[in-house]
Amino acid sequence: MEHQVVHREAIGAEPLQPATIIARNVNVFYGAKQALFNVDVDVPRNAITAFIGPSGCGKSTFLRCLNRMNDTIPICKVTGKIMLDGQDIYDPDLDVVELRARVGMVFQKPNPFPKSIYENIAYGPRIHGLTRTKKELDELVEQCLEKAGLLKEVHDRMHEPGTGLSGGQQQRLCIARAIATRPDVILMDEPCSALDPIATAKVEELMDELKENYTIIIVTHSMQQAARVSQRTAFFHLGKLVEVGDTRQIFTNPRDKRTQDYITGRFG
């Protein structure tokens, strides 16, 4: 079986923590159309894993399997097994709301709620009952903004609309919102594609800090970004996971011809 071969850990890879997400044999169908074929992947804890691949290859689809966002698409069907810390996330007994609190998501386009900056972050903790007093909530909001590197910029306008921030600030607000529910994993689907280079640099810096405490998966079209921020990289092509391994190895010494072609810009 080919895909088992290509999944072998790269020799000489940085020592990584054991996998927090283990996906086996994942197939995804949109109606009759199959979008993912037998995807097997391990995502290590407290590291950044990048998903790369040409447009339409199923990166977003796979990412959305990890917090069961695909449940909201009626025609979407997922088979296979995805384990988060040893727990099957497609277990019928598992509450999807709990899962999404543990697996936060940041979207391609910054999508703050049309509410105040404070409310944007306080919303998640409030519905999950994470804090008991107003003071605790205030502290949590500040903490999250601090972690997202946004506190200095917004501390005097916490009660102004979040949509009034710049694009980059909005995206960092969305990251702050995602970490407010105290997740283990943060999924980011092209988080910088709507941002200018300076805002992108800030978000990348932030991701680098966050990886100390969170497992991060990022979908990106920028090979440079994947190379800059991630420790591991997975290359998808036409719904198949072609190759996964240490980022340095993928970019310097890919095993598969298709990976080689993609990172050298021959297609995609």
Partner 1 sequence: MTVDAPIADGHPLPRLNDPARLRTRYAAEARFRIYGVAALSIAIAFLFGLFASIISNGWSAFLQTKAHVPVYLDPAEIDPDGKRDVSRFGLADYTKLARDALSKAIGLPEKQDKATKRDLKGLLSRAIDVQIRDLVVADPSLIGQTITVPLLAHGDVDSLLKGAIDRSIPEERRQLNDRQLQWIDKLTADGVLKKDFNAGLFAYGASSQPESSGLAVALIGSLFMMLTVALLAVPIGVATAAYLEEFAPKNFWTDLIEVNINNLAAVPSIVFGLLGLAVFINFAGLPRSASLIGGLVLTLMTLPTIIIATRAAIRAVPPSIREAALGVGASKMQTLFHHTLPLAFPGIMTGTIIGLVQALGETAPLLMIGMVAFVVDIPSSVMEPATALPVQIYMWATSAERGFVERTAGATIVLLGFLFVMNAAAVYLRRRFERKW
Residue ranges that bind partner 1, judged by CB under 8 A: 67, 69, 72, 74, 97-101, 104-105, 107, 109, 111-114, 123-124, 127-128, 161, 163-164, 174, 177-178, 180-181
Q: How far is the CB of 239 from ligand ATP (least distance, A)?
A: 7
Letters for 69-108 (x = contact with ligand ATP by CB under 6 A, - = none) are ----x-----------------------------------
CB of 36 to ligand ATP, least distance (A): 8
The one among 21, 39, 49, 61 contacting ligand ATP by CB under 6 A: 61
Compare residues 69 and 117 and give the one whose CB is closer to Mg ion.
Answer: 69
Q: What CA–CA distance (Å, rounded) separates 23 from 185? A: 14
d(CA 28, CA 113): 30
> Of the two residues 161 and 268, which places its CB atom closer to ligand ATP in the complex?
268
d(CA 44, CA 47): 6
CA–CA separation, 76 and 12 (whole Å): 39
Cβ–Cβ under 8 Å, residues 68 and 97: no
SS3 for 200? helix
Which residue bears the tokens 């391609």?
Answer: 108
Give the separation between CA 12 and CA 203, rounded to whole angstroms.
29
Q: How far is the CB of 114 from partner 1 (least distance, A)?
A: 5
Nearest approach, Cβ of residue 6 and partner 1 (Å): 31
Size of the site for ligand ATP (CB under 6 A): 11
Beta carbon nearer to Mg ion, 34 or 87: 34
Residue 93 identity: D
β-strand pairing of 48-52 with 33-44: unpaired
Pick the closer one to Mg ion by CB: 60 or 120.
60
The residue whose two tokens read 């920028």 is 222
- Write out the residues near ligand ATP by the rule CB under 6 A: 30, 35, 53, 55-61, 73
